[in-house]
């Protein structure tokens, strides 16, 4: 299969490496926006900025230049840009014939739209979907066992993703519930900041378990209000991605919470990462979307207040613990 991955960040690079290492011998091109970066990766045969020390499979090509021209020759296009760049990329690809899937997670900052809603607005004719689930780019690039969800209302998108990536080191499960998969991918980043804060303040394992569990309830409530299936949130893109991002030390969003607990400012925390932490940018849109749907999300509300500087870390804990007693429910 001829596959083009647009975006040479950590996740786009990892997926290009995974596809190029597949036993069936896919023809894979990784596209980088910056020509100098592309040339450097082609010579070094690695992405030293995002995945240092991990060598590219011999067959993987790296190019810059005309992304649309590459996409027109592909049988599958993977968009590896951050959420902020998705709209522009979809506009570029709006009449592309190949199946298209994006890797980004979150809500669009200005509109509060999920990725599939952005696509429906600017490129409704595309056969498109999301490729999501509990996975760190470094581990996928190393070929360590992982599992992802190919979510789309289009069977040919799901089938193309399974054919391109499913193998001994990467299991790919198909789902038609793109709403649930995308809500899970967006909300878990916000909840990971809260869990990092909890661990940074050394509140204990009991507190962490409670936070993750009630966070899952918030995620599910929002998803159901937006039309998702409840079982999706007990799967890879819900509980799976939440547990990984909230507890894994490779999680950038968790790291933001840890740094805030140390007394760092939000800007200091973000600057120290060197990568995008989507939870920082999607917290506001998650809360706005929840408010518009009449969904109560107290943990997400506290994260937003903390990121806005309206709440101190210790006060966020107190606000959550002092809420009125209630029955356990979604």
Beta bridge partners of 77: 4, 100
Token couple for 34:
């910056």
151 φ, ψ (degrees, to nearest 5): -110, 120
> Which residue intervals of the chain are DSSP H helices?
10-20, 35-44, 67-72, 86-92, 115-122, 137-142, 155-165, 178-200, 205-225, 241-247, 252-261, 266-273, 278-293, 298-307, 313-321
158, 188, 284, 289: which is the annotated catalytic residue?
A: 188
- Does residue 188 carry a catalytic annotation? yes
Task: Please report, in range form, the residues annotated as the binding site for NADPH.
Answer: 11, 33, 50, 105, 137, 252, 276, 278
CB 219 within 8 A of CB 188: yes
CA dist 201 and 171 (Å) reads: 36
Task: Please report, in range form, the residues annotated as the binding site for sn-glycerol 3-phosphate.
Answer: 105, 133, 135, 188, 241, 251-253
231: DSSP letter:
G
Task: Please report, in range form, the residues annotated as the binding site.
Answer: 7-12, 33, 50, 105, 133, 135, 137, 188, 241, 251-253, 276, 278
Residues with a catalytic annotation lie at 188
């Amino acid at each position: 299969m001829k596959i083009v991955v647009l975006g040479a960040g950590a996740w786009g690079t990892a997926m290009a490496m995974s596809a190029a290492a597949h036993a069936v011998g896919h023809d894979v091109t990784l596209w980088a926006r910056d020509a100098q970066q592309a040339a450097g990766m082609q010579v070094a045969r690695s992405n030293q900025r995002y995945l240092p020390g991990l060598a590219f499979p011999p067959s993987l090509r790296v190019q810059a230049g005309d992304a649309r021209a590459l996409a027109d020759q592909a049988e599958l296009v993977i968009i590896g840009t951050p959420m902020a760049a998705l709209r522009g990329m979809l506009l570029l690809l709006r009449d592309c014939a190949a199946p298209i899937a994006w890797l980004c997670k979150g809500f669009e900052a200005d509109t509060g739209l999920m990725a599939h809603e952005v696509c429906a607005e600017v490129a409704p004719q595309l056969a498109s979907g999301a490729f999501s689930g509990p996975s760190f780019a470094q581990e996928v690039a190393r070929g360590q066992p992982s599992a992802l969800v190919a979510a789309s209302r289009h069977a040919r998108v799901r089938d193309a993703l399974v054919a391109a990536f499913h193998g001994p080191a990467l299991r790919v499960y198909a789902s038609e519930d793109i709403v649930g998969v995308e809500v899970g991918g967006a909300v878990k980043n916000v909840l990971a900041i809260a869990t990092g804060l909890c661990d940074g303040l050394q509140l204990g394992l009991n507190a962490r378990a409670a936070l993750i569990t009630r966070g899952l309830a918030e995620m599910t409530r929002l998803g159901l209000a937006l039309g998702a299936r409840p079982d999706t949130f007990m799967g890879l893109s819900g509980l799976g991605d939440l547990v990984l991002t909230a507890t894994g030390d490779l999680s950038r969003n968790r790291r933001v919470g840890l740094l805030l607990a140390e007394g760092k400012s939000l800007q200091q925390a973000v600057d120290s990462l060197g990568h995008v932490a989507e939870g920082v940018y999607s917290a506001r849109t998650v809360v706005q979307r929840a408010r518009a749907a009449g969904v109560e999300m107290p943990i997400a509300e506290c994260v937003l207040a903390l990121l806005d500087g309206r709440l101190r870390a210790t006060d966020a804990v107190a606000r959550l613990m002092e809420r009125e007693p209630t029955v356990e429910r979604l």
